[in-house]
Structures are given as structure tokens and as C-alpha cells.
């Protein structure tokens, strides 16, 4: 179809302006010069720009800067007198990193859809921004839902899947794959390396990859089973249940994922979503070369602890090499993440995918103590 469009533009070019538009804007996620077009059965490749010398100029709309975001929100304040707390602006920037649709969507949800925000005398707080962020994700709004379609593309999978596993890009990844994912806005290059563009995408990607498994788990998991009488989340009981589930079902459940190499990590997250979605949230850190996936489970407390949060970290690692070395490194990484997130509880999950190992060897639970703090180590 793109070849046909380009041919029409080329054919009508010398008839401008009487019988053809003087100028035409092609708007998409990529510059036309970056497309690799297959023009015959032999799969001969031509490039969009060089094959049709019709392009006058190429412009790219990038993400907003921090100043752009503040200016946009300030326009709302000037028109309505409704202010944003500095902490709300800071959180909006941290969550979106200037992605234009997300920047607008957060503010729109707060100021026009939320009951509190529609009252222009109410100052927009960080708590209000955080609440609508969760609502956007759970509703799978159009923009976020469309990410699922892109995640199914093979060239996207080749870049995103190693991020989910915390490993390096594999040999079959070509520069065009990386450029495509960057153009889509799914990832960005930072001094520390390639990473998912923003925290919202970091949460949406695993959710979109696991939503079908979450539905399948609905008949097997009741959130109430893992909520203690004091309304705290019993993560020890939850992880023990997942351990039993993983032992019994992992072989055919992991095969259901498009991203099979990241299947164990995704399956555990689907298991957690089924419970935590009923009031809490999960924050994630993962990326190329990290060697792990870090999860922060945040559960709001009730009763006498109303207004406080239960915070627990879960670090996921796939065993590579010696088990004891992996445990020691994992403990250091888990405790560092626990310090950074001010979590009171810490768990380390190690997936052993070696086929020659029996389940009796893979499945274990032990408690390690470091500096007066405990980390529960779970073998899977």
C-alpha cells in the first residue's frame, strides 16, 4: 500500500498545483526513508526516500521537555485558576518522561474526568496524578492498548524481550530493529543504555503481555486468600502458592506467552496482578544487562494504619551458572533495591530453567540474613 501511495505522489508531482495538491504531508511513526519496501516476489528491497525523490523535508515531533510539560500545565492554570502542586508536576514528569499523549492524558484525567479535579478550587496533588495513572492502565485506554499490537511484531520482540529478562541483545537483533523501537517511542537511549521510555510503559508492557493469562488465572486465584486479617498482603503465602503453581503448570503456561524466554517472569507478574490489582500496585525496574527484574509491591493499609502503605520488593533472576554465586549477587541487589524503595519486606526469586535438574532440586525456600535484615529466597 505504501508503494502505491508513493507512486501516486510521484506521478502527480509535475501536475501541481492545477491538477494535484501542491504539497502533501505524510505523517507516521517513521520517516518514509527508513522503510524497507519489498517490491517483488524475490523480496528485492528498496528504501522509501531514495526510490522516490519527492521528499522536501523531514520533521520529527519528539517528546516534551520538562519545560514543555510545565508550560502546558501552566496554560491550564492561567485559564482556570486551578493549580498543580510542584510534587504533582514532578510526578507527572517522572511517569511520562514527556511522552506527549501520556502528558496530556494524565492532566485530562485529573482535571476533567476525576470528581476532585473537576472542582477548580482543588489543587491538583501528586496523589491525584498517581490515582489516574492507575486508572489509565487498568482501563487499557486506546493509546496504551495499541502498544499490544506493536509488541507482537517480531522486530519489537527481539528488542523488548531481552529487557524483560534483564539480559543483553542477542545476535539476530539488527540496528534497524533498535531504530524501529526507538521511533515507536517504546524505548530511549540513555547514558546507562537502552531502556523502556517511561515508567508507565514499563508497567503497561508486562500487563499487555500477560492480560490473557490473568483472565485464565481468575478461576484459580481468589485475592481474598492472600489478605491477612489485619488487611495486610501475605506475600509469603502468595509466593508459596505461586511456587506450587509453577511446579505443576509452568511447562505449558510459559508456552502460552509470545515472549517465551521471559515467560517465567511474566507468569509471576500475572499471578501478582490478579491479587494486587484489587487495591495495590506494582512498580517495575528492568532493562538490558541488569541481570534481574525488580518489582515493588505497594499495598495501602486500612483500619488504624489508614493512609500508610505496605511496601515489599521482589527480585526475579534466571539462574546462570553457579547457584550460590547467583544467590549472593541476588541478595546484594535485593537489599540495595530495598534500601532505595524503603520497603520493609524483601524476596528473591530464582528461576532454574536447566532441563536436567529435578523439581526437587529447583524448589526450595530459605531465609538469608544480611546486616540484621532478612531476605526470603524462593527457588522455582
Q: Which residues pair with 36 in a beta bridge?
A: 47
Extents of the domains making up the chain = 2-51, 66-139, 203-379
What string of DSSP letters covers 156-203? HHHHHHHHHHT-PPPTT--HHHHHHHHHHTSEEEETTEEEESSHHHHH
Tell me the pLDDT tens digit for each residue of 55-66. Answer: 667 777 789 999
Task: Band the pLDDT of 173: cuts 50, 70, 90.
Answer: confident
Rounded Cα distance, 338 and 240, in Å: 21
Give me the pLDDT at residue 172, please.
80
Upstream peptide bond of 17 is cis (omega within 30 degrees of 0): yes
Q: Which of 218, 236, 206 is nearest to 274 (CA)?
A: 218
Ordered DSSP codes for 222-266: -GGGGB-TTS-B-HHHHHHHHHHHHHHHHHHHHTTSSSGGGHHHH
- Tell me the C-alpha distance between 292 and 285, whole Å: 9
Give the single-character DSSP code of 70.
H
Residues of the chain by 3-state class (helix, strand, coil), percent to 5: 50, 15, 35
Asked if 214 contacts 274 with a C-beta cutoff of 8 angstroms, the reply is yes
CA distance between the termini of the chain: 48
pLDDT of 184-240, one tens digit each? 889 988 887 889 999 999 998 998 898 888 888 888 888 888 998 888 999 999 999
pLDDT in tens, 8-51: 888 888 899 999 998 888 887 666 666 666 555 555 655 555 44
Amino acid at each position: 500500500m505504501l508503494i502505491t501511495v508513493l507512486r501516486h505522489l510521484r506521478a502527480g508531482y509535475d501536475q501541481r498545483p492545477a491538477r494535484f495538491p501542491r504539497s502533501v504531508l505524510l505523517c507516521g511513526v517513521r520517516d518514509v526513508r527508513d522503510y524497507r519496501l519489498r517490491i517483488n516476489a524475490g523480496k528485492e528491497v528498496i528504501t522509501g526516500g531514495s526510490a522516490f525523490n519527492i521528499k522536501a523535508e523531514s520533521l520529527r515531533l519528539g517528546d516534551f521537555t520538562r519545560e514543555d510539560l510545565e508550560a502546558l500545565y501552566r496554560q491550564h492554570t492561567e485559564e482556570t485558576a486551578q493549580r498543580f502542586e510542584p510534587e504533582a508536576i514532578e510526578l507527572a514528569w517522572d511517569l511520562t518522561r514527556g511522552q506527549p499523549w501520556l502528558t496530556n492524558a494524565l492532566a485530562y484525567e485529573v482535571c476533567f474526568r476525576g470528581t476532585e479535579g473537576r472542582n477548580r478550587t482543588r489543587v491538583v496533588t501528586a496523589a491525584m496524578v498517581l490515582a489516574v495513572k492507575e486508572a489509565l492502565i487498568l482501563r487499557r485506554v486506546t493509546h496504551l492498548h495499541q502498544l499490544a499490537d506493536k509488541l507482537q511484531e517480531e522486530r519489537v520482540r527481539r528488542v523488548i524481550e531481552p529487557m524483560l529478562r534483564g539480559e543483553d541483545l542477542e545476535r539476530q537483533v539488527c540496528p534497524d530493529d533498535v531504530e524501529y523501537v526507538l521511533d515507536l517511542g517504546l524505548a530511549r537511549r540513555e547514558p546507562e543504555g537502552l531502556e523502556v521510555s517511561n515508567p508507565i510503559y514499563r508497567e503497561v508492557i508486562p500487563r499487555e503481555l500477560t492480560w490473557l493469562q490473568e483472565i485464565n488465572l481468575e478461576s484459580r486465584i481468589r485475592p481474598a486468600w492472600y489478605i491477612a486479617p489485619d488487611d495486610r498482603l501475605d506475600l509469603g503465602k502468595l509466593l508459596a502458592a505461586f511456587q506450587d503453581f509453577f511446579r505443576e503448570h509452568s511447562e505449558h503456561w510459559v508456552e502460552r506467552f509470545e515472549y517465551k524466554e521471559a515467560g517465567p517472569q511474566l507468569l509471576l507478574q500475572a499471578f501478582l496482578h490478579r491479587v494486587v490489582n484489587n487495591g495495590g500496585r506494582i512498580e517495575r525496574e528492568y532493562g538490558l544487562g541488569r541481570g534481574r527484574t525488580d518489582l515493588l509491591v505497594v499495598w495501602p493499609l486500612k483500619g488504624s494504619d489508614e493512609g500508610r502503605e505496605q511496601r515489599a520488593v521482589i527480585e526475579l533472576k534466571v539462574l546462570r551458572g553457579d547457584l550460590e554465586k547467583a544467590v549472593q549477587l541476588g541478595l546484594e541487589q535485593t537489599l540495595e533495591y530495598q534500601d532505595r524503595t524503603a520497603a520493609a519486606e524483601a524476596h528473591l526469586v530464582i528461576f532454574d530453567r536447566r532441563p536436567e535438574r529435578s523439581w526437587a532440586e529447583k524448589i526450595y525456600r530459605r531465609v538469608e540474613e544480611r546486616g540484621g535484615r532478612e531476605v526470603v529466597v524462593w527457588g522455582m
